[in-house]
Every structure is written in structure tokens, then in C-alpha cells.
Amino acid sequence: MQDLDYLKETPSQTGGPYVHIGLTPNKLGIEGIYPVDLGESPIRDGAKGEIVTITGTVSDGAGMVMRDALMESWQADAAGIYPGNDPRGAADPNVTGWARIIADFDSGEWVLKTVKPGRVPFPDGRMMAPHISLWIVARGINLALQTRIYFEDEDNEACPVLQRIEHRARVTTLIAKKSGAGQYRFDIVLQGDNETVFFDI
């Protein structure tokens, strides 16, 4: 038999407890190497659309709020175009779409201030409901977890990704709850009751 000549993906390993040294050194107090930490905000002043603030925590299977979690978010602009290599065209120049988010070292709360994204098409052309993709690493997580933030005040019924979730009661774990004007709450639970849906995508 011939060999397939594909390479194998480099195996993942945990980001460990000191992930901030590499990815957010200024926030850790290692100053002077980089002028600023990358991913401070996914938007600049003047971004078009509704500005929203999403707050939450990441909890483990023992119910403990994790203060060493690091997340990255990736999203489209208000018109549903991704900045960068989106084949459909250029995004709002004031939307970079990407942010690096760390839990507060004391409280474990994280905050993402951004613009609410527009709808983006699934490969078959149906539209996905507005969402922000999240990538989560921490000590104890061997391969980063992938999830999505959806919004309570959007029409999520027809989203082809949410429709893939067999256990319908779990869909609510992906939907940020409105907590005020432009404010949402999105708590992530890694394990156990109310475990957040994670994707292999």
C-alpha cells in the first residue's frame, strides 16, 4: 500500500498555570518587553454596530471559579464579515475581531467589550445566528476547548450549529443572558451540572 504523505498535527499540551507570562506579560506585571499585550480589544473607536459588554466566569467540575483561565475570542463585524481572510470582502476597519481575555487574578471574572456580530453563513448557505467563537486554555486543559457565545435577544432557533445539539436542554448553556442595556452574562462550566457545550469543529 502507498503511504499517505500528510503530516500529523502537532499534539496539544496544556497551557499550564503560567500561560500569562507568554500571552499577557504586561497584565502579569512583566513590563518592558512588549509595549502592550496583544488582543486588548476586538474593536477600535468608531466600530459600527451595537457595543455590548459580556461578563462571566469559568468554573471547574468542583464548582470552583478558575482564576488562571485564558480565552481568546473571534467574531465577525456588525455586518457579519470577518476581518482578514473572509472570501466575501473587507470588514469594518475598526473591527479586528480578535481578543485575548483573562480571568481577574482575584475574582476570576472576565469581561469582553465588543460589537455584537452580524449573521454569518454556514457552508450550505443557511445563516448561523450571531455568535462569538471562544477558545479556552488553562492548567488542566490538555487541548483547548472551543465554544460559542450566542445572544438571548437574537433569533437562535434556525442556527444550523445550534440545531446539531442533540440534547436540546443544553443549548441554553451557549446563550448569553441579557443583564442590562448592552450587558450580557456568560458563565462557562467545564464539567458537571450545566456543563457548557464544547465543539469539535
User: Is residue 147 within 8 Å of residue 174, measured between CB atoms?
Assistant: yes
Cβ 40 to other proteins shortest distance, Å: 12
User: Is residue 151 within 8 Å of residue 157, measured between CB atoms?
Assistant: no
Reduced to 3 states (helix: H, G, I; strand: E, B; else coil), residue 95 is strand
Cβ 10 to other proteins shortest distance, Å: 5
Q: Which of 128, 111, 129, 127 is nearest to 53 (CA)?
A: 111
Nearer to other proteins, 8 or 181 (CB): 8
Cβ 181 to other proteins shortest distance, Å: 27
Nearer to other proteins, 65 or 179 (CB): 65
d(CA 37, CA 113): 16
Cβ 48 to other proteins shortest distance, Å: 19
Nearer to other proteins, 133 or 184 (CB): 133
H or E segment to which residue 143 belongs: none
Nearer to other proteins, 13 or 180 (CB): 13
Output phi, psi for 28, to 5 deg.
Answer: -80, -20
Nearer to other proteins, 2 or 10 (CB): 10
Cβ 64 to other proteins shortest distance, Å: 8
- Which amino acid, 155? D
**Which residue has 478558575 as its cell numbers?**
66
